[in-house]
Amino acid sequence: MKKRWLKGAMALCMLCAVYLLSKEGALLADNEAEEKKGVIVIDSGHGGIDPGVVGIGGIQEKDVNLKIAKYLSGYLQKEGYDTVLTREKDEGLYDQKSKNKKVQDMQNRCALIKETKPLLTVSIHQNSYQDESVCGPQVFYYTSSAQGEALAGYIQEELNTQLEPERPRQAKANKTYYLLKRSEGILNIVETGFLTNSREADLLSGKEYQKKCARAICDGILKFLKTVEKDGPGMV
């Protein structure tokens, strides 16, 4: 009789343990679901046969873009966001046999954004100008996009504050850039500096400054998303 009682008690304990474990698993799954704040696409401009701007000292835009994009991805993931990078190495988004690789590359970037349906997209680039003294980061948004303008304002503010450029710029509307015209959703093109300016080219070639750029962009994105959350999902 005593053995039967012990067996019954042990069986009951096992059932309780299984129940508690299943509840714990469900809670963990719920917590993970809550922690998933959404997806952000990070586009690293150029790549492969397209170096973008080749600046002072031979620094190539495509390389700087990719490094900043990867740092930005890491910062956003730490904040609970999933990220999708349009490229993760030195390659373009085109078929090697394509007769117009540049057009196919841009089309594929737009297609990836459309498929992902992100909260927003930032496209990382570097600037150039014939006058070497021209410098400073600048953010572009599509002319008729109120959300794009708001995001650009936050990112531009953080870039100006954290990078302390000699000549702070303002976010600028644009209706001709391919990605701004053809991409769905909220998108900013972020030019973190001029590779034709000796000071910025030197800074942008270094790891620490690349991280500073990524941190500033991340903070601008976070401020924008907090505003969206406060004002309601209809803003996105």
Q: Return d(Cα 139, Cα 151) in angstroms, integer.
A: 9
Summarised one tens digit per residue, pLDDT across range 82-136 is 999 999 999 999 999 999 999 999 999 999 999 999 999 999 999 999 999 999 9
Residues 27-79 have pLDDT tens digits of 444 444 446 799 999 999 999 999 999 999 999 999 999 999 999 999 999 99
pLDDT at 15: 52
What pLDDT is recorded for position 154? 98
What is the rounded CA–CA span in Å between residue 138 and residue 50?
Answer: 22
Question: Confidence band (pLDDT; 50, 70, 90) for 4?
Answer: low
**Least confident stretch, 9-18, 60-69, 202-211:** 9-18
Can you spell out the DSSP letters for the chain? -HHHHHHHHHHHHHHHHHHHHHHHHHHHHHHHHHH---EEEEEE--BTTB---B-GGG-BHHHHHHHHHHHHHHHHHHTT-EEEES-SSS--SS-TT-S-HHHHHHHHHHHHHHHH--SEEEEEEEE--SSTT----EEEEETT-HHHHHHHHHHHHHHHHHH--SS----EEES-SHHHHH--S-EEEEEEEETTSHHHHHHHTSHHHHHHHHHHHHHHHHHHHHHHHHH-GGG-
pLDDT tens-digit readout, 135-185? 999 999 999 999 999 999 999 999 999 999 998 999 999 999 999 999 999
pLDDT(1) > 60? no
Confidence grade of residue 10 (pLDDT, cut at 50, 70, 90): low
CA distance 180 to 106: 11
Q: Rounded to whole angstroms, how far apart are CA atoms 216 and 158? A: 5
Predicted local distance difference test score (pLDDT) of residue 180: 98
**Contact status, residue 194 vs residue 136, Cβ threshold 8 Å:** yes
pLDDT score, position 231: 74
pLDDT score for 229 = 80
Position 18 scores a pLDDT of 40
Give CA–CA dist 48/210, Å, rounded: 20
Q: What is residue 187's predicted lDDT score, i.e. its pLDDT?
A: 98
Give the pair of three-digit tokens for residue 143: 């002319």
Is the Cβ–Cβ distance between 195 and 127 less than 8 Å? yes
Residues, the chain, total?
A: 236
